[in-house]
Amino acid sequence: MRFDIFTLFPGIFAGAFDESILRRARETGRIEIFLHDIRAYTHDKHHVTDETGYGGGGGMIMKPEPIFEAVESVLGTDPATRPPVVLLTPQGRILTTQIAREFSQLPRLALICGRYEGIDERVRALVTDEISIGDYVLTGGEIPAMVVVDAVSRFVPGVVGDPGAPHRDSHATGLLEHPHYTRPPEFRGMAVPEILLSGHHAKIERWRRNESLRRTLERRPDLLARAVLTEEDRQALRELGWQGRDL
């Protein structure tokens, strides 16, 4: 899968894509990441990419011309043949596991990183989707772009060592993930639950599912309303004291 990232600050991405799983995924060709400096598509001596906004108010606005030229130069001028173009903005829909999974099915995805007070509204003519990583404001779209690439890449076959891991993680099934333990079996008086040492795989899986339900109930009960639950799950939740209407 190929990612094209349009940004004023390509240097911000140094390190994020050059370590660990994403580095290996790039080296093996499972993902490709291309950074496109929007400043390179200006034509004035000072490479101006922002101006004060019409109507007054504080902050600078990213100009439309270099963004259009950058996107069209890299992706083509015909919207029908361009890959999806995502604008990273606090006004977008919140990134979820389902969205990341859907994006991972694409051969190519483009990301536009906003900066300053915002972008000229006309840039949205290039955009097919808008994504936010949360209800807060950052200094720019670069960190959200890293989050999108990381979240999406985990669903690309071969990127994660255990191919089933992304489908078991928190939110993948609508629930938070169960607790994890490793060696030593006891640390500072805290022991690994006996069930995990039993070797009884069916009981271990049920314990993990119940702990996932418990953790979700305690930390994110709102998720239970849309989680896919079995009757055994519902019974476990009732025993935990959940009185949700969906049960």
Is 117 part of the annotated catalytic residue set?
yes
Task: Catalytic residue, from 154, 166, 211, 214: name it.
Answer: 154
82 and 75 in contact (C-beta within 8 Å)?
yes
Residue of 69, 90, 124, 220 with catalytic role: 90
User: What tokens appear for 148 in the block?
Assistant: 């999108």
For 194, the token pair is 């006996």
What is the rounded CA–CA span in Å between residue 8 and residue 1?
Answer: 23
For β-strands 50-52 and 60-62, DSSP reports them as: antiparallel
Q: What angle separates helix 142-153 from helix 20-27, to the nearest 10 degrees?
A: 70
The burial of 108, by beta-carbon neighbours within 10 Å (0-12 exposed, 13-18 middle, 19 or more buried), is given as middle
Mark whether 144 is an active-site residue: no
Q: Which of 169, 177, 215, 234 is catalytic?
A: 169
Closest CA to 49 of 13, 3, 9: 9
Please pick, among 69, 117, 129, 150, the residue that the annotation labels catalytic: 117
User: Can 169 be counted among the known catalytic residues?
Assistant: yes
Catalytic status, residue 238: no
Give me 187's structure tokens.
């640390």
Catalytic residues: 90, 117, 154, 169
